[in-house]
Amino acid sequence: MKDKKQRLIVGISGASGAIYAIRLLEILKTLPYLETHVVVSRAAKQTITVETDYSLQKVRSLCDEFYASQDIGAAISSGSFRTLGMIVVPCSIKTLSAIVHSYTDDLITRAADVCLKERKPLLLCVRETPLHLGHLRLMTQAAEIGAQIAPLMPAFYNKPQTVEDIINQSVNRLCDQFGIVLEQDLFERWK
């Protein structure tokens, strides 16, 4: 009998904040019932190198399946490939714009488009500031076509002590959006 793990697509765009995606993959790797299918954009490869101590090889080791950003024939580019949905973290404005306009010129935007047409959850973790009206309109349009916008904005009610605390809280909240329950929460929830 075939393995019945649930599948989650993770797209990593070139926006600042690659550490959020890396931490998400570290957490998801600990879940035996979930497999991750990861696409890293060309720009994200550079961002990972600049912002973190991780190599692309290390990032690849955190996922179950890794796809080249130009692999338009990959399994995740088809609606018949069953998934829980997709998280784009971080999501650059360029990627947001391409998704909104169905401009599927790479695997991240194609997989996102498939999630939208198949009515699968698509979580876009926009990482840009400040935002101008065009950015806000793109986020509105994304929500109107079925995506969920989850800007990477830290919460401070749990009094984070480190950058890792801030990242963990955000990553845990991303998992919540897909009903992914961690054995132990990464932050103290509001009571």
d(CA 102, CA 168): 32
d(CA 99, CA 28): 25
Please report the pLDDT score of residue 190 as a whole number. Answer: 83
Cis bond leading into 130, ω under 30°? yes
Question: Position of tokens 């932050």?
Answer: 187
Per-residue pLDDT of the chain (191 residues; tens, 9 = 90+): 356 899 999 999 999 999 999 999 999 999 999 999 999 999 999 999 999 999 999 999 999 999 999 999 999 999 999 999 999 999 999 999 999 999 999 999 999 999 999 999 999 999 999 999 999 999 999 999 999 999 999 989 989 999 999 999 999 999 999 999 998 889 888 88
Please report the pLDDT score of residue 191 as a whole number. Answer: 81
Give the tokens for residue 26.
């570290």
Residue 100 CB-density burial (10 A; 0-12 exposed, 13-18 middle, 19+ buried): buried
**Closest alpha carbon to 22 in 14, 12, 32, 30:** 12
CA 67 from chain centre, in angstroms, equals: 14
Cis bond leading into 154, ω under 30°? no
Residue 98 CB-density burial (10 A; 0-12 exposed, 13-18 middle, 19+ buried): buried
Q: How many CB atoms lie within 10 A of CB 29?
A: 15
Residue 185 DSSP SS3: coil
Give the tokens for residue 185.
């929460």
- Superfamily (CATH H level) for 6-177: Flavin prenyltransferase-like (3.40.50.1950)
Please report the pLDDT score of residue 1 as a whole number. Answer: 36
Domain spans, the chain? 6-177
Cβ pair 90, 13 in contact under 8 A:
yes
pTM: 0.95
Please report the pLDDT score of residue 143 as a whole number. Answer: 99
**Closest alpha carbon to 34 in 18, 11, 10:** 10
